[in-house]
Structure 1
């Protein structure tokens, strides 16, 4: 972890962090603006503020919105940061452009949540050559050169999928079931790993049959459209495994429009634990959720300050997440922050 002290603080706080921070790409002297860019002061770092460039994946889900808010609410001027934030709008080319803009501006740290796993070596080599430490949040990159980033902080996506699969084994797949899978963005770490985890957990259960699997791109609209297609092509669906809550919520709309009862006629399991998903769980429309905590801002700030003070951090920092059934969701909702 960041250090024994930081790790202890994070655990004591229930590890109220997760996923990526979104920072902004602001324009430099060349007046070149990046997509969706903002800055805490509109220019270069002032005084002793630590300048941080953050490139967010986008604003595709409630989880991402909560993650962005956590980053922006934590890395503030008052906390000693000059945060530059960019929304990549789900496009890798926008993130690469933002990172290069941060390098040109001479920020002290770069953090980002990569939209996909591959294709980052060149731009990360540029950051390394400029002696700018890179922090991965929420999602990993697939590279043989681990020196291209200092640390990766986020959930264990394989473990999330595994926990979903284990719950399905114990609570639904005690008899043969037909499963449809709503995958996240193709090529993204959570989509790849959550699929793998679920399959690892259920591979020895002959009752689990995945009859269809397609990306809904982590969006509610995508989940609805894909689920509509699943329902038309497969009349006998017993369970939906959604890689995030927004797609699960879209699936609920499609199931209800088809005259079926979500949570009963077709059971639904999901990952994230955002407020809308937890509300649907409390109402019995979703059956089980594994949490992926988006409140990563405080941990990201600690990592940066540790590095800035000459300390070291672990190359992989795994955040801890809960899991909820209907009654647990009802108990958690009144105090839910996201």
Structure 2
């Protein structure tokens, strides 16, 4: 009887050792798999923004090439904040709790970036803001915080240049009433948003600096949204009718909404007002190609997406970001933009 007890005890010890070895092996395998992958959390301010969705799509496209380059699997997880900053902050908390290697944020509210920076800093998770720029003081809170975007001043100047070049070729394209001025309305993206204000300022400044007199009929915020721009344009058609000679829009989505309203009320106009936008989204470029839109500015979503991915991966791998992105200045990278009109739109279609 005693022999069986001893034998049973030995068997039990062997089983414990085997189970322990299996658990250790599984843990090592899990750790090995974790080492082979980089997990990047991406939270965007609004999932129905055409430019932002195209930017995220380009990030997904860039992953395969990046995986080949670094020899690691990259897992992207996207969360839509639906214009709710509290939701976005919760999404960042979730990425941190799940130990993501880097977090990329398209802010709902740029004024509260410090909250997100402090959370990432405490958890030691690198942070890349993109498209919607935090204030500089918040970027300076930690040396693993970056910003990728475009230059709003450049966008405004290029949008204005679209109008200047078209006016210089044919002033009658705009000046329907022959008073020597362009009567215009302006669709602003987001009240208080720095890109909206800067694009607005420099678009109009570029036109007037070229010696073209401008008279503003109205300016209304349409929150970057096509349906709001459509409704605003219907209101303007009722108020101003054929007085409108130019519609300036802070982005292509709103410009397209305005064009849809104009086309549905074509009988109101002796000549349809010209429409100019910014972003160079696919539908916007197609509108330029069909001469429905005077022009736009190619805001390089692909270039921004690649920069965001490069920086996130470099930080996750403890690489020197400057070596991966030589064009970065400090912790800020601006991707160049390009003016697009009927003369060169075919170069950008299908990119």
- Identify the TM-score tier after normalising by the shorter chain: 0.7 to 0.9
Q: What is the distance in 2 between the residues matched to 1:260 and 1:144?
A: 52
CA distance in 2, matches of 1:290, 1:81: 31
Q: Which has the larger Rg?
A: 2
Question: Unmatched 5+ residue regions in structure 1?
Answer: 1-44
**Which residue of the partner structure matches residue 195 of structure 1?**
200
How big is the shift at 1:200?
Answer: 3.5
- Separation of aligned partners in 2, 1:298 and 1:330: 23
Supply the distance in 1 between the matched residues of 2:156 and 2:239 (Cα, whole angstroms): 25
In the alignment, which residue of structure 1 is the partner of 2:13? none
Larger relative CO (CA 8 A, sep 6+): 1 or 2?
Answer: 1
Q: Does 1:212 align with 2:205?
A: no
Q: Determine which structure has the larger helix proportion and give its number.
A: 2
Q: Name the structure 1 match of 2:286.
A: 279
**Structure 1 counterpart SS, 2:134:** coil
Correspondences of 1:150-189 after superposition (within 5 Å): 150-172=145-167, 175-189=180-194
Q: Which residue of 2 aligns with 1:311?
A: 320
Verify: 1:109 aligned to 2:99, yes or no. no
1:134 to 121, 127, 136: 127
5 Å-filtered alignment, 1:1-338, equals 46-75=34-63, 80-148=73-141, 150-172=145-167, 175-202=180-207, 204=209, 205=211, 207-235=213-241, 236-259=243-266, 264-295=271-302, 296-307=304-315, 308-313=317-322, 314-333=330-349, 336-337=350-351
Aligned-residue CA RMSD (Å): 2.5
Q: How far does residue 86 in structure 1 lie from its aligned partner after superposition? A: 0.4
Query: For 1:75-107, what per-residue CA distance to the aligned partner results, in whole angstroms no more than 9, with x for missing partners?
Result: 469552232210111222221121122222222
- Report how many aligned residue pairs link the two structures: 291
TM-score, scaled to structure 2? 0.75
- Which piece of structure 1 moves more, 292-301 or 272-281? 292-301
CA 1:57–1:132 in structure 2 vs 1: closer, same or farther (change >3 Å)? Answer: same
Worse-matched range after superposition: 273-282 or 192-201: 192-201
- After TM superposition, the score normalised by the length of structure 1 is 0.78
Distance in 1, matches of 2:151 and 2:267, equals 33
Residues 245 and 270 in structure 1, CA contact (< 8 A), matched pair in contact too: yes
Q: List runs of 5+ in structure 2 lacking aligned partners.
A: 1-32, 172-179, 323-329
